[in-house]
Chains A and B, each alone.
Chain A
């Protein structure tokens, strides 16, 4: 007589596990969680997409309004028409530069965005770009993601990273410890089967049901959330592989604990401790360490620095403008006009000076942000829970790195606009300060509104996005394999005495 074949044992276990109400209850709860998480994220992203459309429509309406105003300002005026302020005049290049150059930088959501909320509920996906806003846009939101290393909102990624392990561990703990808790383990152990084959067959049977059910639930949840599955086949496939590897990681932990055949209570206690450590304890500890050893630059200090620099600039305004005109060969002959420049023209010289003086603080903030991203990346490798969530966000396009590139693109876009408009504004210094042509209301030094460039952001391709998460996927494969092998080796003898 020989030991039972693994295949025969697996088939019996597979049939038996498939009849377990516990399995289907857990799968149903996970399906509901996945669907809720993906649908709420999709709902939020739909609202954001609608806001992007409104911003786009606002831009078009402003352009149309400027064109309409320009026509009115070019028209002959009536006898009783009075003067108009220059900032209302789109044919005055200075007023146009300050009050009519306004565009939105938009970051559209990717089709797979319901996979993870990422930073999309914290960082804006539309930024208003004006010429003279220091550093591109008003960063009135929190740059730091306070949940980058913590739990996050109840989205699909949360359901996978946090809830899925609970379901899997519960299933393994209750189904694999059943014989011990029922007092059957001695009878099992007295047969011609070793603990590795017995536990392995049951674990394989659980996973043979659990993995397809969970992956199917993932696809169904994303489909319900409106993800066009055909369009995102490749990243969706990678997200399924990540979920599979994440299940393997936790099943490896389950195997490691259950290899010593504990009671259900002991196994659940151990699983609870491991879960809390990996999901809550270690991320919080890393977060605390990072905050202690590399605290973010103070936002209050930055606001104070902005106020201080603006006060300095105001105090030194005339001197700065005189120096700026004198330093430019094309404007040096007009230094005497430095004190009589209009507000918008002054800003074209002073705002770059404000940015120059604030740049140390700004660079420090940017560097801290990049360091945080690196720490988060490294922590993702140490803690597969965080790594999996980050990888989902990267595939969904809601990751901090894409947000940072969007903000960089917004800043570059502002520089592009300045390159178009500032030379025209500053060229007016060389011309005589003629009063408005009396036949029209307009200044007419900008006869037609400028055809300004549109905002553009270079998006990473799906292939690049996938390439970015591959190192983590490979690492997770390795970690899952090592833990599973360790668990397998640990199940070397029956614990029945």
Chain B
């Protein structure tokens, strides 16, 4: 069973074709990087997968669940990490994690919560602290723990390394690799070519809502990737 199947998905906002005839397929454990400039349709694609937007044409299935007819069922199989993770400032990391896990339909105890936060790379001393004092990187780690707690089939990462320092970004790469090794497919929308080369198995370049290139990441070195990206955007 595929982790994610997008078939000829299209959506317009008035005269603007935000996404046109997009087809992507992800196998379990596969990491797919969706590249493209601002306004290329990356976040719109994620919104359609999450059921926040309904495509005009095409179909979306997450781990075999039709996201158009059963968006809740599909979301139950998706771990989502937004570009900027915001948390309840008066709750601790553990309490935030417990709450979001509950929203995902899972009741987790404190031990499990600590383990997930450790896996996400959040230092133990921060587990009990109110998240109002957390840096962006720390909140991002709690967000990763929330996604992991869901035991999802698919991780959707929206600009996951935006605003993170090198160390935090590296931690995130490790989490992605770990998730992949456990059979979780990852779709990340990003501008970060270096990180793509680091963790992705496949990549696709979106321009004006159209998938103009799709490659196996292993076939490209970082320089070739950058040249391909710039070339595709320019053409």
Contacts and interface: CB of A to CB of B under 8 A. Distances in A.
Given A1-B151, A12-B99, A184-B86, A190 B50 contact: yes
A460 interface: no
B107 A183 contact: no
B103 A4 contact: yes
B76 interface: yes
B147 to A, nearest CB: 9
A95 B66 CA distance: 99
Contact of B82 (A2, A187, A194): A187
Contacts of A4: 102-105
B27 interface: no
Interface string B150-173: 110000100000000000000000
Contact of A1 (B52, B77, B82, B85): B77
A184 B87 contact: yes
A12 B106 CA distance: 13
Contacts of B106: 1
B47 interface: yes
A192 B86 CA distance: 18
Nearest to A185: B86
Contacts of B78: 190
A192 B88 contact: no
B209 to A, nearest CB: 15
Contacts of A497: 47, 52-53
Interface in B91-146: 99-100, 102-107, 143, 146
B76 A1 contact: yes
A256 interface: no
A455 interface: no
B contact patch SS = loop
Interface in A332-390: none
B103 A192 contact: yes
B75 interface: yes
Interface string B64-93: 000000001101111010101111110000
Given A1-B151, A182-B86, A187-B82, A494 B103 contact: no
A186 B52 CA distance: 9
A187 B146 contact: yes
Given A182-B86, A497-B47, A2 B76 contact: yes
Given A1-B150, A1-B151, A497-B53, A186 B82 contact: yes
Please indicate which of the listed interface residues B84, B86, B103, B143 has the most CB atoms of chain A within 10 Å of its own CB.
Answer: B103
A12 B102 contact: yes
Q: How large is the interface on A (under 10, 10 to 19, 20 to 34, 35 or more residues)?
A: 20 to 34
Contacts of A496: 47, 52
A229 interface: no
Contacts of B107: 8
Given A2-B76, A3-B76, A496-B52, A193 B103 contact: yes
Contact of B86 (A183, A198, A494): A183
A9 interface: yes
A189 interface: yes
Contacts of B88: 182, 184
Contacts of A182: 86, 88-89
Interface in A442-497: 494, 496-497
Contacts of B80: 186-187, 190
Interface of B: 47, 50, 52-53, 72-73, 75-78, 80, 82, 84-89, 99-100, 102-107, 143, 146, 150-151, 156
Interface of A: 1-4, 8-9, 12, 182-184, 186-194, 198, 494, 496-497
19 contacts: A1-B105, A1-B150, A2-B105, A4-B103, A4-B104, A183-B84, A183-B86, A184-B86, A184-B87, A184-B88, A186-B52, A187-B82, A188-B100, A188-B103, A190-B80, A190-B156, A192-B105, A193-B103, A497-B53
Shortest 7 CB-CB contacts between residues of A and residues of B: A190-B80, A192-B76, A191-B103, A183-B86, A1-B76, A191-B104, A184-B86
